[in-house]
Amino acid sequence: MTMQESAARPGARPALSILVPTFDRDIRPLAVELLADMANLPDPLAAELLVLVDGNPALAGQDEVLAMADARGLSAAFAMAPRNLGRSGARNALAGAARGEHVLFLDADGLPDAPGFVARALDAAREAPDAVTCGGRTGLRCPPAPADARLFEAHSRMREWLPAAARNLDPAGNFLSANFQLRRALFLCAPFDARFTGWGWEDTDWALRIAPHAPLRHVDNAVSHMEHHRDADWLRRLDQSVGNYALLAAAHPAAVRRHRLWPLMRALRPVSGWGWLKAALLRPALCPRLPAELRLKLAKLRQAMVYAAVIRG
């Protein structure tokens, strides 16, 4: 893995490393806002920005971001992975390259909801240094979804775009890897499981494994999810995540039995191989003329059928 650094990074000893993996997402919009927050800190070198380009040498923007960091005397770096490491591997590699006592993981498709995001993250590290702190995700800054991308938006409103008070009712169940922080040493002792490849469930597995070792707390320091997932693409991702769900079910059977979909999965297990029924559910789930809430229920029913094939008990 090769590294490009700003001039200030070699001598910096940050308290917080902000870690962002990306494959094809332009990192510049997020970097501009993070660097502005860092420049406004009492000690601008209290935080560093470290981005991993995950096996995509064609991605542009690195030189521009490093030039912005140099102009303000900030600590920033780009790591270049020679091959695609995936969601788990990329985060693990970033933590290994970080220099901060605490690490803050962000997804590349987010933007802070409000200025001062980095200062609030540093405050959270000081307030609860031994906790896993989750800042949350919203759609505050994202424009409304187009007609063919309303399923994921409806799901996000119901399950992800929640205030901290609601998320703290089930800290592990509401964990999202899009915006969380903890001590670097703790993460290195319990990294993401690299067996989870592709999309889905690696964050749930990690939260369940880390919960016995550190409290999970949710605060209101959110980022907006700035990407719309097309309905057909999102349902395809749910289908492709079944292998990861099988890993999750094998590792955490008791937790999986508490999932909202569990009763449906058990009921639908005898018909989980009925391809014609999955196709019949898919058509109305993708119909933009139907209400998004109804379509989401049909999509979840179909997801339960797909997952039912890999559960036991």
H-helix or E-strand spanning residue 108: none
The residue among 199 and 241 whose pLDDT is bigger is 241
Q: Is the same domain home to 114 and 201?
A: yes
Percent share of the chain, pLDDT over 90: 85
In the chain, the number of structural domains is 2
Q: What are phi and psi of 266, to 5 degrees?
A: -65, -40
Arithmetic mean of pLDDT, 291-296:
95
Residues 160 and 296 in one domain: no
Task: Return the pLDDT at 34.
Answer: 98
Looking at the structure, do residues 159 and 296 belong to the same domain, yes or no? no
For tokens 């049909």, name the residue: 298
Q: Domain check: are 153 and 278 in the same one?
A: no
SS (H, E, C) 113-157: CCCCHHHHHHHHHHHCCCCEEECCEECCCCCCCCHHHHHHHHHHH
Q: Judge whether 313 lies within some domain.
A: no
Mean pLDDT in residue range 103-131: 97
CATH number of the structural domain spanning residue 10? 3.90.550.10
Task: Based on the fold, state whether residues 220 and 254 are members of the same structural domain.
Answer: no
The strand pair at 110-112 and 223-225 is best described as antiparallel
Are 115 and 131 in the same domain?
yes
Do 218 and 154 share a structural domain?
yes
pLDDT score of 71 more than 80 = yes
Residue that is last in its domain, among 206, 227, 248 = 227
Give me the domain span that covers residue 237.
Answer: 232-308
The band of 313, judged by pLDDT with boundaries at 50, 70 and 90, is: low
Kindly state whether residue 299 falls inside one of the protein's structural domains: yes
Q: At what angle do helices 292-308 and 242-251 cross, to 10 degrees?
A: 60
Q: What is the pLDDT of residues 221-265, one digit of tens each?
A: 999 999 999 999 999 999 999 999 999 999 999 999 998 889 999
Confidence of residue 84 (pLDDT cuts 50, 70, 90): confident
Q: Could you read off the pLDDT of 28-60 as tens digits, one per residue? A: 999 999 999 999 999 999 999 999 988 777 777
Structure tokens given for 130: 């031994």
Residues 90 and 204 in one domain: yes
**217 and 260 belong to one structural domain:** no
At 3, is the pLDDT very low, low, confident or very high (cuts 50, 70, 90)?
A: confident
Give residues with Cβ within 8 angstroms of 113, minimum separation 6.
138, 140, 141, 222, 223, 224
The domain boundary residue, chosen from 180, 195, 227: 227
Model pLDDT, residue 199 = 85
Residue 94 has pLDDT above 80, yes or no: yes
Q: How far apart are CA 132 and CA 40, in angstroms?
A: 25
CA distance 266 to 195: 25
* β-sheet bridge partners, residue 54: 81
d(CA 198, CA 237): 9
Please provide the average confidence, as pLDDT, over all residues in the chain.
Answer: 94
Q: Counting Cβ atoms within 10 Å, is residue 210 exposed (0-12), middle (13-18) or buried (19+)?
A: buried
Q: 155: which 2 tokens? A: 């799901």
| pLDDT tier at 298, thresholds 50, 70, 90 | very high
